[in-house]
Structure 1
Amino acid sequence: MAFVNVANTRINRLDSLGYRHRSWSHAFPQRRAWSRASTRRAQCEASLVALKPYTSYHLARWLAKEWDNYDQHLANPPFWAHIRVSYRPLPWEFLEGHAFYVESIYTYAPKLPYRATIIKITRNSDGALETESYKVEGVEQFYTAAFDRSKLAELVRQAHPRHTNRCVKLPEACNAVFEWVEAEQLYRCKTRPGCKCMVRRGDRDSYLDAQMTLSESRCTALDIGRCPQTHEQLWGAVAGPFDFVVRKSWSDEVPLPPAAMDW
């Protein structure tokens, strides 16, 4: 079981993305804010010794990493491209929840992600954790933001839903639903049931059948496009799921939720 490391999480997160430009020691009100934040961290450390599974915060800390399938690629290069998937945490205030800028790259083209999007962890009406997906208009200008704090801060500024319409929520049918498996100490995830997350590939319509498992140090993922009528596979990996291990962790950048939230 992982242990909470909450010291400086939200404060350093804001500093690192450039949201504060003055030292907190320069003014008395800021010192009071620091005292309140410190008290809250102490309370968290005292009452939340172990991370509670199946919470937004727990899932966010496990996702917040750069994932790499190099070992799988090396074992069988014809079947498995070498790819990396990065989940870089965003400030809580961006989407009022645990959100990530997500980039997927082929390692031979690290500056040209084949997928760049934003996701947010939420709970549905049944109490299950889900991830919503958001498209960012003109996301090309933010490529590599997962590793560039200045670009990440600019993404937050330019795509903030309150200020612009560049961050567009995708249909709920494409949400991914997470289930906590206590016996295996991992999450299992799949696209919402109903076969309604439609994807156009070439001249054919298909629906997305996505599955994932997530532990603290390992992640498997399989995205398949299926025919809406016959359910046969039209695209996606034919040799099974991609198998990722952690290359880099950003878990300590995951913001603490508001104190009143049952996270």
Structure 2
Amino acid sequence: MNCSSQLLTLGNYLAGEFDNSKQSLAEPAWFVHLRLWHIPVPLFPEDSITFFAEQANIVNLDQPYRQRIIRIRQVGNVESSLQVQYYALKDYISLVGAGKEPGRLKNLTPDDLEDLPGCVLEVEIKETSHHLQFIATPVANSICSFRYNGNIVRVSLGFEVTQEELKTYDKGIDPETGRATWGAILGPYHYQKRKQSSLS
């Protein structure tokens, strides 16, 4: 795979194990203490860096949830033109806990995924004095929704990441009112990386 330097940098920033312990200690009434895994998986290797993602409340690490696939790739011929595509897993239950057991992910294929055409983010890249900052926001006028436990779920996705911190803006949306019902309602979750994962 020929990856641009920006794509490789974004992939390395996202790869690994994170938690928001600082935030949860500072604001325990508003932010629960979470563990988040982004595990590189061998999907779409011809043009992408792809992750299995899941998270868990720190007090219930044996009950992770929100299993999903995140694919980042360069679009077009411009190195800095990056896009994030989310996929659902057709049989996510069989992969619960795979964040801590990455070996269970090695046989994933595109046939295991459910395409989510509305769940796409565009990536803005900013240069600072020390590193790059990647800001991923939804494509204009897109609606991200999927089926989960027999129900249609609508979400708003987004993140910002640097070498030092990952901020996530994911939240559930009530389709009737348009209001956020869970997730980053009062602002983003602030994660620090606890363990780096290799992209290779």
Aligned to 2:133: 186
Structure-2-length-normalised TM-score:
0.81
Name the amino acid aligned to 1:219.
Answer: L
Conserved in 2, the CA contact under 8 Å of 1:199 and 1:225?
no
Report the Cα offset of residue 143 of structure 1.
2.0
Aligned to 1:78: 29
- Is 2:184 the counterpart of 1:242? no
Aligned residue pairs total: 190
Report the Cα offset of residue 95 of structure 1.
1.8
Structure 2: distance between partners of 1:181 and 1:77: 31
Question: Which structure shows the higher helix fraction?
Answer: 1
Q: For 1:188, what is the secondary structure of its paired residue?
A: strand
Taking every aligned residue pair, what percent have the same amino acid on both sides?
Answer: 24
Report the Cα offset of residue 149 of structure 1.
3.8
Aligned to 2:91: 138
Listed one character per residue, the Cα deviations across residues 125-151 of structure 1 (whole Å, up to 9, x for unaligned) are: 585211212222222222222222432
Higher gyration radius (CA): 1
Structure 2: distance between partners of 1:137 and 1:200: 10
Aligned equivalent of 1:156, options 106, 111, 130 = 106
Structure 2: distance between partners of 1:175 and 1:169: 11
Conserved in 1, the CA contact under 8 Å of 2:89 and 2:113?
yes
Structure 1: distance between partners of 2:99 and 2:172: 27
Name the amino acid aligned to 2:44.
Answer: L
Conserved in 1, the CA contact under 8 Å of 2:135 and 2:161?
yes
Report the Cα offset of residue 229 of structure 1.
7.5
Q: Aligned Cα RMSD in Å? A: 2.8
Name the amino acid aligned to 1:169.
Answer: D
Structure 2: distance between partners of 1:102 and 1:74: 24
Structure 2: distance between partners of 1:106 and 1:218: 19
Aligned equivalent of 1:166, options 98, 112, 131 = 112
Listed one character per residue, the Cα deviations across residues 19-75 of structure 1 (whole Å, up to 9, x for unaligned) are: xxxxxxxxxxxxxxxxxxxxxxxxxxxxxxxx93xx221111111021110111111
Report the Cα offset of residue 110 of structure 1.
1.1
Structure-1-length-normalised TM-score:
0.63
Residues 64 and 70 of structure 1: CA distance in aligned 2, closer, same or farther (over 3 Å): same
Conserved in 2, the CA contact under 8 Å of 1:85 and 1:105?
yes
Residues 209 and 135 of structure 1: CA distance in aligned 2, closer, same or farther (over 3 Å): closer
Runs of 4+ deviating beyond 6 Å: none
Structure 1: distance between partners of 2:85 and 2:174: 23
Conserved in 1, the CA contact under 8 Å of 2:143 and 2:154?
yes
Aligned to 1:61: 12
Report the Cα offset of residue 230 of structure 1.
6.5
Conserved in 2, the CA contact under 8 Å of 1:119 and 1:132?
yes
Unaligned stretches of 5+ residues in structure 2:
none
